[in-house]
Amino acid sequence: MSMRHSGIGMTSQRTRMRMVQRLREQGITDETVLAVMNAIPRHLFVEEALASRAYDDVALPINFGQTISSPWTVARMTELLRANSNLGKVLEIGTGCGYQAALLAQLAQEVYSIERIGPLLTRTRIRLRELRISNIYLKHADGLHGFPEAGPFNGIMMTAVITQAPASLLEQLMVGGRMVYPKGSQKQNLCVIEHTPHGFIETILDEVKFVPILAGVISK
Ligand code: SAH
């Protein structure tokens, strides 16, 4: 991010520091993730009317029936994906308002992110340009097919719930890479899949609440 916009960010710097302290108390341990959450102005990713609640530990609506995940959920998924090492190329399914992508862009070399709702993506494109974040490549498509022309990836994150990781996405995950996503339907848990030389290893973790993955695209 360029310094040109640091003025906007500074208005809520103290609120953001309190959020980060709360995340630490809630068990987030990756200080690199916490530093990035301290730097990215989360309130600029929600509608102005909701900005005052942007740092509360809640999910908030971002239009089109979608939500920005709570700070804890975002932090937890990001630390699981990072696993204490820098990320090369990352794929995100479900760009939404772009907050998660903006964080990943500080932790990875390149971020590829796919969103199925066109008008939502248009707004997010403008927002990321205003924040001068330039290592995110956005695509309006059904993310279930992944981003084969850009893969394989060191990490894949899905930010909408699905009963099982699609094979098409696992095929785009490098050996040594990992995928993080909410797994389930009514009951949902964070799931980490590691691609080892001997195959895929799945770990089921914290209970969460996400909007569902849907097939197809919406253009307007
Ligand atoms: N990471 C987002 C969270 C957005 S909520 C953020 O930081 O704001 C999940 C998003 O996934 C929604 O925007 C929804 O439209 C999108 N989504 C659902 N199914 C999808 C699919 N098949 N392909 C791409 N995006 C999808």
Instruction: Give, to the nearest 10 degrees, the angle between helix 71-82 and helix 99-107.
Output: 30
For residue 144, which atom of ligand 1 is closest to its CA? 22
Share of the chain above pLDDT 70, in %: 95
Structure tokens of 6? 């640091």
pLDDT in tens, 14-38: 999 999 999 999 999 999 999 999 9
- The alpha carbon of 160 and the centre of ligand 1 are apart by a number of angstroms equal to 6
Of the candidates 12, 69, 185, 219, the residue annotated as catalytic is 69
Strand partners, 138: 113
Domains of the chain are: 58-208 (3.40.50.150)
Does 219 participate in catalysis according to the annotation? no
Q: List pLDDT tens digits, range 90-130.
A: 999 999 999 999 999 999 999 999 999 999 999 999 999 99
Which pLDDT belongs to residue 220? 83
The answer to whether residue 7 scores a pLDDT higher than 70 is no
C-alpha 197 – ligand 1 centre gap (Å): 30
Q: Are 43 and 125 in contact (CB under 8 A)?
A: no
- The whole-angstrom separation of Cα 155 and Cα 176 is 9
pLDDT at 151: 97
DSSP SS3 for 128: helix
Confirm if 111 and 153 have CB atoms less than 8 A apart: no
Residue 3 reports pLDDT greater than 80: no
The string of pLDDT tens digits covering residues 169-214 is 999 999 999 999 999 999 999 999 999 999 999 999 999 999 999 9
pLDDT at position 5 over 50: no
Strand segments, DSSP code E, in the chain are 60-61, 67-68, 87-93, 108-115, 136-140, 153-158, 173-184, 188-196, 199-208
Residue 58: is its pLDDT beyond 70?
Answer: yes
Neighbouring residues of 134: CB distance < 8 A, sequence distance ≥ 6: none
The pLDDT of residue 11: 61
> Hey, which residues does 179 pair with through a beta bridge?
156, 193
pLDDT of 150 strictly over 70: yes
Is 142 a residue whose pLDDT tops 50? yes
Q: In the structure, which protein residues have their CB atom closer than 6 angstroms to any atom of ligand 1?
A: 62, 66-69, 93-94, 96-97, 99-100, 114-117, 120, 142-144, 159-160, 211, 213-215
> What is the residue-averaged pLDDT of the chain?
94
The residue whose CA is least distant from atom 23 of ligand 1 is: 143
